[in-house]
Structure 1
Amino acid sequence: MKQMIPGLVAALTLLALPAAAQEAALPVDPETTTAAASAVGAETAYIFDTLLFLIGGILVFWMAAGFAMLEAGLVRSKNVTVQLTKNIALFAIAGLMYWIMGYNLMYPADWSINLWLGEIFSFATLDPVGSADLENSYSVGSDFFFQLMFCATTASIVSGTLAERVKLWPFLLFTFVLTGFIYPIEASWQWGGGWLSEMGFSDFAGSTLVHAAGGFAALAGAIVLGPRLGKYRNDGRMQPMPGSNLALATLGTFILWMGWFGFNGASQLAMGTIDDVADVSRIFVNTNMAASAGAVVALILSQVMYSKVDLTMVLNGALAGLVSITAEPLTPSIFASVLIGGVGGAIVIFAVPLLDRLKIDDVVGAIPVHLAAGIWGTLIVPATNPDTSYVNQLIGIVAIGAFVFVLSFIVWSILKATMGIRASDEAQISGLDISELGMEAYPDFVQAK
């Protein structure tokens, strides 16, 4: 039997030769082959680009939980429930407003002023069921989902700064304006193909477009609203008001750190080639190194300046490092990323007491982290990215800052004059949880009044 097997194999091989020769002789159309290969490549790129947007969007969504935990930990226990309510409400409002008007304002079909204004109240739409447009290289739904998360993040920045003395409903009304109108317009100048993009301004994932913009809106609100009751005493000294739960604040920071990989990594906007995937991994590394450097610098400087390490400074140092690298996480080397993030951590240490000297009350340190570090990260982009310049970067920062700050100041002033934005002294003493919601985050504990 074993001797018959080689002969059988040889016979079958001879029988197959004519068919193989016939197939080889068939004419091959190079254009058809190239078109088929291109279609397969386009479909593959579409799948992976869309997947990048969806996974990145989920990670940035998780940052909403990070903001909620960070703020819940850094406010006093009598204000925790209101802070949590604000965070889930602002995210929901951002989702609706970005759908109603924000998305199409940010990505207008035409930049002529009349047609662009026509995008107001122009609802975002999705691809038809069961279809895909390969010309976009990713689905409309994935783009909407991903960009919405950035819009909501901008509003989250404002929430922490104004904690413990802003009324709930005026804050939510401001969120309607910020997420539906202010943020989409300034973001369109760069990411929507507007004038900043044409000029050569560069902000890879939003150090200025998202973080500094949120910081400018928060700064305007803090100025109009004023500080918390008892924060700055008549003798000129600042009264410390420690947060309720540093464990929650630390958890929130780690969640934000994790979500930032989606924030920066998915801003590559493509994962359809091996080069894109390599760049995404490079962004992950640089993002992590900048955060690490920011935390370590804040750790060391807080020990030097205050004789003891301040955990809240370390947490904000890590976040400042993340904000700093967000404007350009791709082109820097690891060493450059460490330097950029480290300077961000140092900025927090010096900016926090500066705000107190100016009597600008920022409960969670969002202005130093997002505004100051965001400006620094955007300004330093030309050091590693030769495609832009310091002049262009400065023009972009000033334009976005002026637009967001002035409009935010006007909106806050109107809300103050019409319905009032500041909780009463009695409400601040008893806590906004009781005065605004009638419920407490920690009802089983006696609250210090």
Structure 2
Amino acid sequence: MDLKDISYALDSLWVIIAAILVIAMQAGFALLEAGSTRMKNSGHVAGKQILSFGLVSLVFWAFGYAITFGDGNAFMGLHGWFVSGIHGGHSGDISFSPLDNGSIFLLFQTAFAAVSLAIAWGGFAERAKLVVYVTFGIIFSIIIYPIVGHWIWGGGWLAEMGMQDFAGSTVVHLTGAIAALIGTLLLGPRIGKFNKNKTPNVIPGHNQVYTVIGGIVLWIGWFGFNAGSTVSTADGFFGYVALTTNLAAAAGALAAMIMAKILGGKADISAMVNGVLAALVAITASCAFVEAWAAVVIGAIAGGVTYWTSIYFEKKGLDDPVYAFSVHGIAGIIGTLSTGFFASGRLVEYTGVGDKGLFYGGGFHQLGVQALGVIASGVFVAAISFVVLFILKKTIGLRVTPEEEISGLDISEHGTYGYPEHLDPQFMKVD
């Protein structure tokens, strides 16, 4: 085995490990979202993560991967259905990289697509029909996510302009968040969320410990998400990406706690968790392009702003049960734009993507490219999501019945409660 073979094997192993870490984020979402919603829906909310990953694994393999990374045009890929030509190892003298191994890179990218769909489904929580999840999930995995991915990662028109989105603040998080926002708006608020005078009521999650553990699992999984996107171990750059990722998350936790204390008077635990996630979302685009100090700034801004926007949108009548749009959408915008300000000359030269940011003498060019990417991706996702969900609303309907919503989706959609001894009458009888 020569040096190239060893390097290829190490890189491939690293990408497989990173893929597993990203797949494990589904467990984080299950705990986070189940803990953040009510007991009567906990099994349903957790179980849909199994549905999400299973659905994406099949649909992205069949169609989504080809549209994202296949040869085509500036809009979408047109070749490679069912990942034709997939093989288990490298051959010839082409570049020795996991990107050349269809099976490894497919698994890695499938994990990313599944995260984006999980974010989208977060906005549907506690009142959407299960059939809506499945139908929208298929279309999201074939059309919405892959086309945005092709634009930025697959050699599409934004890639040609040099858009910087290293691991997916826009591709993964903003895409999922915009879909979640459209779903939230078309579904309408949960029963009892708003009073007649339109003031919001607090609907607390049933298990704050689950929420915290879910956040920690996601934090760990994010090292596969960001550092894994280097798809290489050769020069140790993945370690630097992991460092900026962690620094941002830490800053986001503290900034969100401080903001919660200032605005709400208490160091809200859910705010800290969401602060971590918002910071991780924000640093996802910029983790390979910014210096360590900038990662701290980006994470702190995302964590603080996300807490404020979650309150603001709720006061404006938006019932987003897990704050998907604030955490993944607003923070995704912040993260994508951040490279336009903070992209370091030395790191841009190293990665070979785009130009340096405004604060490094690059002017407004890169910021303009980043802003265009946010706007174009956001409009595209919003338009397609609205059309699909509007058609579903007018045909099969988006929401369960009021009676089913009140009884809980665990029993109405799945026939059993996540906590039967607490909710099922047969377990509450006294002999």
Q: Could you tell me which residue of structure 2 aligns to residue 265 of structure 1? A: 227
Retained in 1: the 8 A contact 2:40–2:423? no
- Choose from 227, 237, 245 the match for 2:207: 245
1:366 to 2:343 alignment = no
Alignment of 1:89-108 (within 5 A): 89-108=51-70
Q: Which moved more, 1:204-213 or 1:155-164?
A: 155-164
Per-residue deviation, 1:128: 4.1
Q: Which moved more, 1:193-202 or 1:40-49?
A: 40-49
Kindly provide the CA deviation profile for residues 272-308 of structure 1, in whole angstroms up to 9, marking residues without a partner as x.
x22xx1x111111110110010000111111121111
SS in 2 for 1:123: helix
One-letter amino acid matched to 1:96: L
Q: How has the CA–CA distance of structure 1 residues 118 and 197 changed in structure 2, closer, same or farther, with 3 Å as cutoff?
A: closer
Alignment of 1:170-249 (within 5 A): 170-249=132-211
- Choose from 283, 297, 309 the match for 2:267: 309
Separation of aligned partners in 2, 1:288 and 1:362: 27
Q: Could you tell me which residue of structure 2 aligns to residue 434 of structure 1? A: 411
Q: How has the CA–CA distance of structure 1 residues 308 and 436 changed in structure 2, closer, same or farther, with 3 Å as cutoff?
A: same
Q: How has the CA–CA distance of structure 1 residues 127 and 237 changed in structure 2, closer, same or farther, with 3 Å as cutoff?
A: closer
Per-residue deviation, 1:332: 2.1
Q: Could you tell me which residue of structure 2 aligns to residue 18 of structure 1? A: none
Kindly provide the CA deviation profile for residues 353-406 of structure 1, in whole angstroms up to 9, marking residues without a partner as x.
111122111101111110000000100102232533110000111111111111
Q: Could you tell me which residue of structure 2 aligns to residue 283 of structure 1? A: 241
TM-score, structure 1 length as denominator?
A: 0.86
Per-residue deviation, 1:423: 1.4
Separation of aligned partners in 1, 2:141 and 2:78: 18
Kindly provide the CA deviation profile for residues 138-193 of structure 1, in whole angstroms up to 9, marking residues without a partner as x.
22211111011110000000222211111111111100111122111110011111
Separation of aligned partners in 2, 1:228 and 1:310: 23
Q: Could you tell me which residue of structure 1 aligns to residue 128 of structure 2? A: 166
Separation of aligned partners in 2, 1:80 and 1:337: 35
| Runs of 4+ in structure 1 over 6 Å off | none
Separation of aligned partners in 1, 2:140 and 2:82: 17
Retained in 1: the 8 A contact 2:72–2:79? no
Q: Could you tell me which residue of structure 2 aligns to residue 34 of structure 1? A: none
One-letter amino acid matched to 1:98: F
Q: Could you tell me which residue of structure 1 aligns to residue 83 of structure 2? A: 124
Separation of aligned partners in 2, 1:184 and 1:117: 9
Q: Could you tell me which residue of structure 1 aligns to residue 252 of structure 2? A: 294
Supply the RMSD in Å over aligned alpha carbons.
1.8
Kindly provide the CA deviation profile for residues 13-69 of structure 1, in whole angstroms up to 9, marking residues without a partner as x.
xxxxxxxxxxxxxxxxxxxxxxxxxx9333233212212211110100000110011
Kindly provide the CA deviation profile for residues 255-281 of structure 1, in whole angstroms up to 9, marking residues without a partner as x.
00000000000111222x22xx1x111
Separation of aligned partners in 2, 1:415 and 1:42: 52
Q: How has the CA–CA distance of structure 1 residues 289 and 78 changed in structure 2, closer, same or farther, with 3 Å as cutoff?
A: same
Q: Could you tell me which residue of structure 2 aligns to residue 376 of structure 1? A: 334
Per-residue deviation, 1:413: 0.5
**What is the number of residues matched between the two proteins?**
403
Alignment of 1:74-153 (within 5 A): 74-111=36-73, 118-119=78-79, 122-125=81-84, 127-128=86-87, 132=91, 135-136=94-95, 137-138=97-98, 139-153=101-115
Separation of aligned partners in 2, 1:126 and 1:344: 41
Q: Which moved more, 1:183-192 or 1:381-390?
A: 381-390
Separation of aligned partners in 2, 1:71 and 1:393: 30
Q: How has the CA–CA distance of structure 1 residues 117 and 377 changed in structure 2, closer, same or farther, with 3 Å as cutoff?
A: closer
Retained in 1: the 8 A contact 2:169–2:282? yes
Whose radius of gyration is greater, 1 or 2?
Answer: 1
Q: How has the CA–CA distance of structure 1 residues 80 and 392 changed in structure 2, closer, same or farther, with 3 Å as cutoff?
A: same
One-letter amino acid matched to 1:439: T
- Choose from 412, 420, 426 the match for 1:443: 420
Separation of aligned partners in 2, 1:220 and 1:119: 30
Separation of aligned partners in 2, 1:119 and 1:224: 34
Kindly provide the CA deviation profile for residues 204-258 of structure 1, in whole angstroms up to 9, marking residues without a partner as x.
0000110011000101111111110111111221111000111111110000000
Retained in 2: the 8 A contact 1:154–1:214? yes
One-letter amino acid matched to 2:403: E
Q: Could you tell me which residue of structure 2 aligns to residue 10 of structure 1? A: none
TM-score, structure 2 length as denominator?
A: 0.90
Alignment of 1:400-411 (within 5 A): 400-411=377-388
Quote the sequence identity (%). Answer: 37
One-letter amino acid matched to 1:347: V
Separation of aligned partners in 1, 2:107 and 2:33: 24
Separation of aligned partners in 1, 2:224 and 2:88: 27
Q: How has the CA–CA distance of structure 1 residues 408 and 295 changed in structure 2, closer, same or farther, with 3 Å as cutoff?
A: same
One-letter amino acid matched to 2:294: A
SS in 2 for 1:345: helix
Kindly provide the CA deviation profile for residues 325-370 of structure 1, in whole angstroms up to 9, marking residues without a partner as x.
0001123222211110000101111111111122111101111110
1:393 to 2:352 alignment = no
